[in-house]
Amino acid sequence: MESIMKRICEDDPEICKSFRCRAWVKLMHPFHPHEFIRSLLAQLYTNYCPRHGSAVDFLKLNGTMMDTEGVLIEFVKQLMSHHRYLVFLEDLSSADDWKAVSEYLPDQNNGSCIVVHTQDPEVASLCVGQPHRELELDQSSAEHTVRVFFNEASTSRWSSWPSDPSPADIEQAKILLHKCGGLPQVIVAVGNFMAEGWSIDNDDNFMGTLETHPAFGSLRGLFDWVHSYFHSCEDLLKPCIFYLSIFPVNHKIRRSRLVRRWIAEGYSRDTKERTAEENAEESFLDLCKLNMIQVPGSTSLSYFMRMPLCQVNGFFREYIISRSMEENLVFELEGHCSVNSQHTGRHLTIGSTWDRDMSVYGSIDFSRLRSLTVFGEWESFFISDKMRIVRVLDLEDTSSVTDGDLEQMVKLLPRLKFLSLRGCKEITRLPDSFGALRQLQTLDIRHTSVVTLPASTTKLQKLQHIRAGTTVQLDDDTSIVDSLAPPQPETAVTSTLSMSRLRRAATLVLPELWTHRGRLLPDSHNGGVVVPRGIGKMTALHNISVIDVSVASGSAILEELKNLTQLRKLGVSGVKRENCKELCCAISDHAHLESLSLWLGTNQAGCLDAISPPPKKLESLKLYGQIDKLPPWIKLLSNLRKLKLRLTMIRQHEVDLLKDLTSLNILCLSFKEFEYGELRFRGGTSFRQLWVLEIACNSRLQSVTFGDHVMPRLEVLKIRCCNNVPTLNFSGLEKLQILREVLLKGSYDNKVEQDMRSQLGKHQNKPGFKVEPRSNSS
C-alpha cells in the first residue's frame, strides 16, 4: 500500500497538477493527534515545498517553531483550506479514528480527496458518507498497478521481470495481477516475491502459495481477516459467496442472472419481512460492499446503483476456489482432464477451453449435481439421465444448442427451477412438452429465435420470470443510446431492466437495443414473443417481457394481464390504437408494477393517455415509438427513478414537465426532433435527485443549456452523437457543481470534443472526460 500510494503522490504528473497538497499517512494505534499532524506536515513538506532547506524550516511560522499541538492543527487547517488536497490514510481501523482524523481535514467542496485503506467494510461505508457515493475498497488504477508491479518485481538481478516491459510482458503481468484483485498490499508482496527470483505460475496454486510461503508474511493480517470473515459469515450468505466461483476469470455476469440462480438454489428464500428476490438483492449488495463483486469499468455511482453487469474480484475468486474445492461444492472442466481425476460436487462448470472428452465426462458422479453451467460449445452428451436433481441449467451464449437438445433437457431434467437459453440462436421453438417442467421459476429465452410460447407454458404455475424477445439488447456497462431515427413499425422493440427500491436504486447503465446484434428474425413482428391464451392464469408471474400484442389475439392477451396482480415488470411491443384500450386498463392503478417498457407503432399519439391513475409504485418507465407527445400522467409518477424516452419529438414545455419528478435519478432522452433545436433545463432547483443525464443528439440539436441551481446532484453526463454532429454548444456546465464524469461517444466533429474539453477544464470539480473512438456513421 505504502509503495503504490507514495509513488502516485510523487510521480504521477496528473496527480501533482491537480493536487498541490499531497500526503500519505500510516495511522498509528492507538491514534494520537499530535503524531498524526506531524506525519501529515512532513508529507506535505515533501510534496508541497521541496524548495525549503529542511522539514524543520517548513515547521517554522513567522520565526516561531510550531511545537504546540494547537498551532500545528491551525496551520494544517489553514494550509489545506486554501488548496485542493489528496490524502491517503492507511490502516484506518475504527469509526472513532475516522471521526478524529476528519476533524483535521477541512471540507471546502473544492474537489479535495481522501483515500482510505481499511479492512473493515463498516468503516469504509462510514467514510463514504453519502448513500449514493461509490464504495471503493483498495482499488488503484490498472495503469498504476502495472507500473508499481514492475517497479517492485524488477528491482534485483535475480528477477526475470524486465524494468522496461514489452506488451507481452504487460499482458502476462495483468493475468497475475488480476488474481491479486487490485489489493495494493498483495500486488506489492507478489512484486517483492518476484524480485527475489521466485516465480508463481498462473496455473499453479496461487492462493496456496500466498498463504503458506514465508515470503508472504506481510499478508498474514489480510488472511486473518478473510479467514475470520468466512468463519463468522452468516449461513445464508456463505453459499452465495462460494457460488461465485462458477463463473470464469474476468467473466461479466448479469446481476439478474446471479440473483435468480441464488433463488433457484434455495440460497435466498421468502421471509415475513421480504421476498426471496429482495433478500438476494441484499446479499448481492453485501458482497459489493466487501469488494468480492465489482463492476467492470465502474463509474462513480456504480456500486450504489443497480448495475446490470458485474464480475468477481480476482483475489476473492482464487480464495473461494481453494475453499470450494475443499468443501466439494464446485468443480470445473477446463483444458485437458484425465479420467482418473476426482470429478464430483454440487455444481459443474464446463469451460470453453475444455477438450470435450466424452470418456472423462462419463466418469463423473452426477448423483449430487444441482447445477450445470456451460461456456463455449454445447455437446449433446452433456445431458444425462443421472442428473435428475439438477435445479439450474445455464447455457447463456452457448453455441450449437439445438431444438432436439432442448427436448432432451425437458425430458431428463424434470426438477429444473432455472433455465437460461439466452443467446442460443439455434433454438427456434420450445417443445410442446415444455409444460412438464412444473417446478420452473425462471425462463430466459431472450435473444434466441423463439417467437412463440407453446400453449403448455400456461401449466407452469410456479413460473415467476419470463425473459423473451428476438431482438438483442446490448449488455454493456458503458453503452448509451445508439440511434435516433425511430425504426419502422415492423422493427419495434422494447426492453425492461429490473428496478427495486431506493436502497438498491436505479441502474446507471442504460443499454440500447438498436445495434448490429439487434436484427429481427423473419418471423418476428416487432421483437416480442407471442404468448398463449390462458396467460392470465399464471398468477405467480412477477416479470414478463417482451410480449408481442400486435397479433390477432393481442387484445385478448392484454385483457388477461389484468389478472396478473403480482407483476413487477412488464414489457409490451406492438401497441396500436386497436389494442391500446385494453393495455391502458391492464396498467391503470396496478398495485405492484415497478417497471414498464412500451413500444408503440406509427401515429399513436395519445393512445396512452387513458392510463388513469398510473401505477403508484412505478420506478422505471421506457417509451419507444413514433409519437411526439408525452402522456400527461407522467408528472404524477412520484416514485419514478428512471425515465427513458425514445420518441419523435420533445417540446420545451414537456422538458419543464419532467423537472417536477422528485425521485428521478436517471433521465435518458433520444428524439428525432428538438423544438427550436435546443434543450433547456431550467427552473430553480429542478431535477433535484437526478444523478445521470443521457442525451442522444443529431445535427438538429444545436445547444444544451443548464440554468442556475438545476440538477444539484448530477454526477454523470453522457452524450451520444450521430450523423456527424457538426456543432453542439453546452452552456452552464459549470453550474453542475458536483459533476464527476462526462462521456462523449458516437459521430461528431472535432470542434464538439474541443469545446467540451475546454469547458470541463475550467470546471471547479475537474470532472473526468471519457471520449470513445468516433464512428463515421450513426
- Output the pLDDT for position 188: 84
* Mean pLDDT to the nearest integer, 511-521: 36
* Mean pLDDT to the nearest integer, 30-47: 74
Spatial contact of 431 and 459, defined as CB atoms under 8 Å apart? no
In terms of pLDDT, which residue wins out, 215 or 221?
215
- Structure confidence at residue 349 as a pLDDT band (50, 70, 90): very high
Angle at 85 between CA 81 and CA 90, to 5 degrees: 120
pLDDT at 541 over 50: yes
Omega before 546 cis (within 30°)?
yes
- Output the pLDDT for position 106: 72
Q: Looking at this protein, which amino acid is placed at residue 746?
A: G
List for the chain the helix, strand, coil content (%; round to 5): 35, 20, 50
- Output the pLDDT for position 72: 66
- Output the pLDDT for position 224: 86
Separation between Cα atoms, residue 367 and residue 618, nearest integer Å: 45
- Structure confidence at residue 96 as a pLDDT band (50, 70, 90): confident
* Mean pLDDT to the nearest integer, 238-249: 91
Pick from 152-156, 478-482, 663-667: least confident? 478-482
pLDDT at 204 over 50: yes
- Output the pLDDT for position 28: 75
- Structure confidence at residue 250 as a pLDDT band (50, 70, 90): confident
- Structure confidence at residue 433 as a pLDDT band (50, 70, 90): very high
* Mean pLDDT to the nearest integer, 442-459: 95
Q: Tell me the CA distances in angstroms from 55 to 44, 47, 76, 187, one per residue in order.
A: 10, 11, 14, 31
- Structure confidence at residue 27 as a pLDDT band (50, 70, 90): confident
CA 619 to centroid of chain Cα atoms: 18
What the block records as the C-alpha cell of 178 is 488480476
* Mean pLDDT to the nearest integer, 180-201: 82
Q: What tens digit of pLDDT does each residue of 739-748 get?
A: 989 999 988 8
pLDDT at 778 over 60: no
What the block records as the C-alpha cell of 370 is 444441482
pLDDT at 457 over 90: yes
Closest CA to 423 of 254, 191, 224: 254
* Mean pLDDT to the nearest integer, 418-430: 96
Spatial contact of 677 and 651, defined as CB atoms under 8 Å apart? no
- Output the pLDDT for position 626: 81
How many angstroms separate the first and last alpha carbons of the chain? 45
Note every long-range contact of 330-337, with CB atoms under 8 Å and residues 24 or more positions apart, other chains counting: 330/242, 330/243, 330/245, 330/246, 333/360, 333/361
- Output the pLDDT for position 456: 96
- Output the pLDDT for position 119: 62
pLDDT at 681 over 80: yes
Spatial contact of 418 and 261, defined as CB atoms under 8 Å apart? yes
- Output the pLDDT for position 297: 56
- Output the pLDDT for position 560: 95
- Output the pLDDT for position 129: 52
Percent residues over pLDDT 90 in the chain: 39
Pick from 281-285, 288-292, 298-302: least confident? 298-302
Which uninterrupted H or E stretch holds 278?
helix 276-289
- Output the pLDDT for position 247: 93
**Which of the given ranges, 219-228, 292-301, 414-423, has the highest pLDDT on average?**
414-423
- Output the pLDDT for position 478: 31
* Mean pLDDT to the nearest integer, 445-464: 95
Q: What tens digit of pLDDT does each residue of 550-579 get?
A: 999 999 999 999 999 999 999 999 999 899
- Output the pLDDT for position 583: 95
* Mean pLDDT to the nearest integer, 525-534: 86
- Output the pLDDT for position 526: 66
pLDDT at 496 over 70: no
Closest CA to 536 of 558, 514, 508, 505: 558
Q: Report which DSSP code applies to 624.
A: E
pLDDT at 249 over 90: no
In terms of pLDDT, which residue wins out, 368 or 105?
368
- Output the pLDDT for position 442: 98
- Output the pLDDT for position 269: 92
Q: Looking at this protein, which amino acid is placed at residue 141?
A: S
- Output the pLDDT for position 485: 29
pLDDT at 429 over 90: yes
Spatial contact of 621 and 634, defined as CB atoms under 8 Å apart? yes
- Structure confidence at residue 495 as a pLDDT band (50, 70, 90): very low
- Mean residue pLDDT of the chain comes to 80
pTM, two decimal places: 0.77
Residue with cell 470453453: 352
Separation between Cα atoms, residue 506 and residue 109, nearest integer Å: 26
pLDDT at 475 over 50: no
Pick from 73-77, 384-388, 564-568: least confident? 73-77
Q: What tens digit of pLDDT does each residue of 120-137 get?
A: 666 766 675 543 333 343
At 385 the three-state DSSP class reads coil
Q: Tell me the CA distances in angstroms from 193 to 58, 199, 217, one per residue in order.
A: 38, 7, 11
Pick from 29-43, 371-385, 513-527: least confident? 513-527
DSSP string, 641-703: -EEEEEEEEE-HHHHHHHTT-TT--EEEEEEEEEGGGEEEE-SSS-STT--EEEEEE-TT--E
pLDDT at 371 over 80: yes
| E-assigned strand segments in 39-138 | 60-61, 64-65, 85-90, 113-116
Percent residues over pLDDT 70 in the chain: 79
pLDDT at 777 over 60: no
pLDDT at 35 over 50: yes
At 346 the three-state DSSP class reads coil
- Structure confidence at residue 527 as a pLDDT band (50, 70, 90): confident
Q: What tens digit of pLDDT does each residue of 689-735 get?
A: 999 999 998 878 889 999 998 999 999 999 998 877 888 889 999 99
In terms of pLDDT, which residue wins out, 53 or 22?
22
Q: Report which DSSP code applies to 227.
A: H
**Which of the given ranges, 114-118, 539-543, 627-631, 754-758, has the highest pLDDT on average?**
539-543
